Amino acid sequence: MVTIKQISEKLHLSPATVSRALNGYPEVSARTRLLVEDTARRLNYRPNQLAKKLATGRSGMIGLVLPPSPDQSFDPTFYDVMTGLSRRLTELDLDLVFHAPVLEDEVEPFRRLVGKQAVDGFIVTNPKLSDPRIEFLRSDGVPFVVHGRDASPAPDYAFFDIDNFRVGYDAAKLLIDLGHRQLCFLNGPEDVHFSFERRRGFEQALRDFGSSPVFGTVRHGRMTETYGYMQALAALSEPENARPTGIACSSTIIAAGAMRAIRDKGLNIPADVSVIAHDDAPPQVHAMGFDPALTVTFSPLRDACRPLADILQGLLNGDNLAGLQVTEEAELIVRQSTGPSPLSKQVQGQTA
Amino acid sequence: MVTIKQISEKLHLSPATVSRALNGYPEVSARTRLLVEDTARRLNYRPNQLAKKLATGRSGMIGLVLPPSPDQSFDPTFYDVMTGLSRRLTELDLDLVFHAPVLEDEVEPFRRLVGKQAVDGFIVTNPKLSDPRIEFLRSDGVPFVVHGRDASPAPDYAFFDIDNFRVGYDAAKLLIDLGHRQLCFLNGPEDVHFSFERRRGFEQALRDFGSSPVFGTVRHGRMTETYGYMQALAALSEPENARPTGIACSSTIIAAGAMRAIRDKGLNIPADVSVIAHDDAPPQVHAMGFDPALTVTFSPLRDACRPLADILQGLLNGDNLAGLQVTEEAELIVRQSTGPSPLSKQVQGQTA
DNA sequence: GGCTCCCCCTAAACCGCTTTGAAAAACTAG
DNA sequence: CTAGTTTTTCAAAGCGGTTTAGGGGGAGCC
């Protein structure tokens, strides 16, 4: 392995100058810089990361801990985040160190990594409404950025989130605008912030557009196809006057289940029942291809990776927190799975 | 952060002694050692990993690169490996640094990590028959262990694999013993070693037990439910005399598809068609619950993680290669998805 | 008492890089 | 030509550990 010292000797320069030249410091002449850069290249010099890190006090490692999962199954969205994150961090010359917690203690990997001084910061995914990992990192003063957020009304940490209130709001609004008066929202788990926000948005829309009364029920659960199927089936089995004509889903996977249930009931989409979902574009489900094409609020998870990485870097550079709390809007894309309520003739006048 | 120097000053000892005491070197008195250990604990001393690594020349990091996937979808088995590996490596005080390649170049992440001197070794998963990653690492002299192996008849690297020849052989043998004379093998992709080996085993069994002629076709493809469904459907649509009564599958996911196809054809399992699969126990599919219970060759992926990690550690310690090439047997578990051939009366005499 | 031996410990070098403080070199101005 | 700046370079001190070479002092032996 070729070191800075070797280069300096070869060039009759001091290691200090070589280091400066390679790291773009101004106090080195252009000629010397070129010379150094050239020899470094020719000698195929690679700075020893460890030495660099020891000297600078930065490890260049970012901790990523697999979020705890209720059953031991895998959250496919995490995979998406992980790969996207890795790619972006690589560009920033940071590395991802991955840990899977032993199930009992979700904080332990963080404690361990912090104790070892092995990482400069963390990315926290799938935060709970009240999350012990966030609590720990905050109290320990370790830099971290959250994908999503916890329940605190004004978080004092860096995060990247989408406007989940709007997701719920827009879904409900669209359905209401189409004349639907009996809605059902198949939301995510009850203990995560995004579900909470979407529910708030959903219910706010019910209130805002309730010139004629609109009814909506919200159901919570793990976002699986089965959950979507079962809950939609249950909703559609209600007596006629409580049966939803518009179903909002917190994920495309849920929507897949819901649509299956609708069909099993002998109903048509969107003639009898409209379906809208939030789509964060997990590749598995995208490939599925919905028929009819699904109306969604759209915000690809992968798109979150770049900001997440960049926010973290900002954090490490000591940037102001204000710029490191990002909330993005999801895009409403209307396709064929939503249409006017089958009962809309009765209420059209009131809506318009 | 408390350092060795602080401890040494507090105790009026030299840093050298403290270092020795903490690392269990013999040339330090029992009394001193206890003293040092005790103060270290009280002061909550954590050795700086970077400094340690710089001094010892070991980074304590293991590289894990997401294997390239033909489409961009996720191989759920990789997740299993990743978590299991992380847990075991944590016990060995090693950390996993994760990289996702940009799609064009699967070797690049390795080159990068090696260049940065960021890792002590690699775990390579999903090897191809001829694999550029293995090629690179070998030529570069970096320690690595392969989960599976490539096509070389006598690999000169460390690996952990299951006896895939036997997997194919046992599956065919079981079906043949049950009187089946027309078999079909829905194997994995053509360009991976395990498929190749299983096919070899499968075909060997056909030859070994061919006192009465046995026919078997082997199909290759990506191991998805759809693949299983399509291929099984195709096989079952053959003219009567070429229609398989026993289907072997390279994974439980394939089997799920195959079983669906069998049912769609109005056939019964195992009365009309027997199904056997290889089961590496990915949690997603396990949960699925087969009906009838699936006969399998069994070897959980998770079980591979511990040996993989241990082999790698052996490698880093300079152990002899011979002990670091491990092939394990899969276990044959006969359940309800296999039964005598519906045509067995005709051939029973010849088999017994 | 003098000698060796062993045990326990220390001083100092080292890992490869960064960074501070100061000196040398190269300009600029008077 | 000298004094004063500015630019460029260097020596040396870290970063926090490990490790080598060596030293003090008590025990054992003659």
How far lies B103's CA from each of A83, B200, B246, B313, in Å?
11, 31, 38, 29
- Number of domain units in chain A: 2
* Whether residue B310 sits in one domain with residue B282: no
- Phi and psi torsions of A21, nearest 5°: -55, -45
Residues A340 and A241 in one domain: yes
Give yes or no: residues B86 and B202 share one domain. Answer: no
* Domain assignment present for A37: no
To the nearest whole Å, the CA of A64 is away from the closest chain B CA by 9
- Tell me the C-alpha to C-alpha distance, in Å, between residue A301 and each of A233, A332, B231: 29, 15, 34
In angstroms, what is the C-alpha Rg of chain B?
26
Q: How confident is the model at residue A72 (pLDDT cuts 50, 70, 90)?
A: low
* pLDDT given at position A347: 45
Q: How many other C-beta atoms lie within 10 A of the C-beta of residue B337?
A: 24
Do residues A7 and A18 lie in contact, with contact meaning Cβ atoms separated by under 8 Å? yes
Q: Is the pLDDT of residue B348 over 50?
A: no
Q: What pLDDT is attached to residue A352?
A: 36
Cα–Cα–Cα angle for A247, A253, A258, nearest 5°? 35
Task: Report which of B93, B118, B16, B109 is spatially closest to residue A53, judged by C-alpha positions.
Answer: B118
Q: Do A49 and B118 touch (CB under 8 A)?
A: yes
Contact A51 B54 (CB under 8 A): yes
Residues 311-350 of A with CB under 8 A from B: none
Dist CA B257 CA B208 (whole Å): 29
The dihedral sign for the CA sequence A42, A48, A53, A55: negative
CB-facing half-sphere around the CA of A153: CA atoms within 13 A? 0
* Chain B residue with Cα closest to A113: B95
CA torsion, ordered A237, A240, A241, A246, to nearest 10 deg:
60
Note whether B79 and B153 are same-domain residues: yes
pLDDT band, residue A283 (cuts 50/70/90): confident
Identify each DSSP E strand in chain B by its residue range: 61-65, 95-99, 121-124, 144-147, 158-162, 182-186, 215-219, 246-249, 274-279, 295-298, 325-328, 331-333
Same domain membership, residue B236 and residue B93: no
Q: Is the CB of A20 under 7 A from strand C?
A: yes
For chain A positions 97-116, those within 8 Å of chain B (CB to CB) are 97-100, 102, 109, 112, 115-116
Is the shortest CB-to-strand distance from A8 to strand C under 7 Å?
A: no
pLDDT per position as a tens digit, A119-135: 999 999 999 999 999 99
- The residue ranking higher by pLDDT, A86 or B213, is A86
B29: Cβ under 7 Å from strand C? yes
Residue A278 phi/psi, 5-degree rounding, is -95, 135
Same domain, B183 and B295: yes
Co-location of A203 and A344 in the same domain: yes
Determine the average pLDDT of the residues in B206-235. Answer: 89
Q: Which amino acid is at A99?
A: H
Largest Cα span, chain A: 90
Cβ atoms of B149 and B328 closer than 8 Å: no
Question: What pLDDT does B288 receive?
Answer: 67
CB proximity B14–strand C (7 Å threshold): yes
Asked if the peptide bond before residue B342 counts as cis, ω within 30 degrees of 0, the response is: no
Q: Quote the CA–CA distance of B110 and B197 in Å, as a whole number.
A: 27
Full residue range of the structural domain in which residue B1 is found = 1-34
Residue A341, domain member (yes or no): yes
- Which stretches of A12-147 are assigned E, i.e. beta strand? 61-65, 95-99, 121-124, 144-147
Cβ atoms of A121 and A145 closer than 8 Å: yes
- Residue recorded with tokens 């690699």: B122
Same domain, A268 and A339: yes
DSSP B192: B
CB burial of residue A121 (10 Å; 0-12, 13-18, 19+): buried
Instruction: Name the token pair of B228.
Output: 């299983």
**Strands A295-298 and A331-333, how do they pair?**
antiparallel
Distance of CA A239 to the CA centre of its chain: 38
Q: Are residues A170 and A255 in the same domain?
A: yes
The answer to whether position A36 is within a domain reads no
Pull the structure tokens for residue A228.
């979507």
Q: Which residue has the tokens 């030859």?
A: B207
Interface test with A, best of B58, B94, B98 (most A CBs within 10 A): B98
d(CA A9, CA A3) in angstroms, rounded, equals 10
What six digits make up the tokens of B2? 């408390």
Mark whether A201 and A117 lie in a shared domain: no
Kindly indicate the confidence band of residue A79, based on its pLDDT and cuts at 50, 70 and 90.
confident
Please tell me whether the peptide bond between B143 and the residue prior to it is cis, using omega within 30 degrees of 0: no
pLDDT surpasses 50 at A348: no
Same domain, B344 and B196: yes
Domain annotation covers residue B139: yes
Collapse the DSSP code of B159 into the 3-class scheme (helix H, G, I; strand E, B; otherwise coil) and give the result.
Answer: strand
**Directed axis angle between helix B225-236 and helix B252-264, to 10°?**
40
Where do we find the tokens 């040494």? B8
User: Residue B350 pLDDT more than 60?
Assistant: no
Higher model confidence: residue B214 or residue B78?
B78
Q: Is the pLDDT of residue A351 over 50?
A: no
Q: Which contacts qualify for A22-25: CB closer than 8 Å, 24 or more apart?
A: A22/A47
Q: Best residue in B59, B74, B140 to probe A by mutation, most A CBs within 10 Å?
A: B74
Nearest to A199 by CA among A223, A176, A169, A178: A169
Residue B121 lies in a domain: yes
d(C-alpha A209, C-alpha B191), whole Å: 58
Q: Which residues of A touch B87 (CB under 8 A)?
A: 100, 102
- Supply the pLDDT for residue A350: 43
> Taking 50 as the threshold, does the pLDDT of residue A82 lie above it?
yes
Please report, for the domain that includes residue A208, its CATH number: 3.40.50.2300
Contact B63, B122 (CB under 8 A): yes
Asked if residue B249 belongs to a domain, the reply is yes
Assess A65–B contact: CB distance below 8 Å, yes or no.
no
Mean pLDDT across chain B? 90
| Residue B156 token pair | 């000169």
DSSP H/E element including A184: strand A182-186
Residue B119 near residue B59, CB atoms below 8 Å: yes
B311 & B347 share domain:
no
Q: Do residues B160 and B329 lie in contact, with contact meaning Cβ atoms separated by under 8 Å?
A: no
Cα B21 from Cα B15, distance rounded (Å): 10
Q: Which pair of structure tokens corresponds to residue B13?
A: 């000892």
* Residue A119: inside a domain: yes
The stretch B275-296 carries a mean pLDDT of: 85
Cα A63 to Cα A98: distance, rounded to the nearest angstrom: 6
Model confidence at A343, pLDDT cuts 50, 70, 90, reads confident
Q: Which residue has the tokens 């090897």?
A: B127
Nearest protein residue to C20's C1' (by CA)? A16
Band the pLDDT of B187: cuts 50, 70, 90: very high
3-state secondary structure of B328: strand
- Which of B50, B53, B284 lies at the smallest CB-CB distance from A74? B284
Contacts of B51 in chain A (CB under 8 A): 54
Q: Is B88 inside any structural domain?
A: yes
Q: Give pLDDT, residue B349.
A: 42
What's the CA A137/C1' C18 distance, rounded, in angstroms?
29
Q: Tokens at residue A267, please?
A: 């109903």
